Amino acid sequence: MAAARQQAEWVRVGALVSWVNVAVWAKKPVDPQKVIPAAFRPKRRPRRRQLTPEELASDSRRAWKLMDSFFGPRGA
């Protein structure tokens, strides 16, 4: 539990340092992974494959149906 909390804190610090670096000092972003010590770096997730237009349309329809079930039909 403590290790997970410490890792989360390092991730937060890395993101903050990266943001401050871009906003204040330099315009070139720093990879937050390089700021975090190796022992506390989260494992990189594999990249998601690019969705085809058909898959994207299908996912969009499902998302709209789910939102409509919670919030009512669009335009109502």
DSSP string computed for 37-49: -GGGPPPPPPPPP
pLDDT at 63: 93
Asked if the structure places residue 60 within a domain, the reply is yes
Residue from 76, 74, 73, 6 nearest 40 by CA: 6
List the domain range (segments joined by +) for residue 19.
2-71
Asked if the structure places residue 54 within a domain, the reply is yes
Asked if the structure places residue 49 within a domain, the reply is yes
Mean pLDDT of 38-60: 88
**Tally of domains within the chain:** 1
pLDDT at 7: 81
Between 74 and 11, the more confident residue is 11
Geometric angle at alpha carbon 49, from 32 and 16, rounded to 5°: 15
Between 26 and 72, the more confident residue is 72
Between 15 and 69, the more confident residue is 69
| pLDDT of residue 76 exceeding 60 | no
Q: Given CA atoms 52, 53, 57, 58 in this order, what sign does their dihedral have?
A: negative
Asked if the structure places residue 76 within a domain, the reply is no
Task: With beta carbons less than 8 A apart as the criterion, state whether 60 and 66 touch.
Answer: no
Task: With beta carbons less than 8 A apart as the criterion, state whether 10 and 36 touch.
Answer: yes
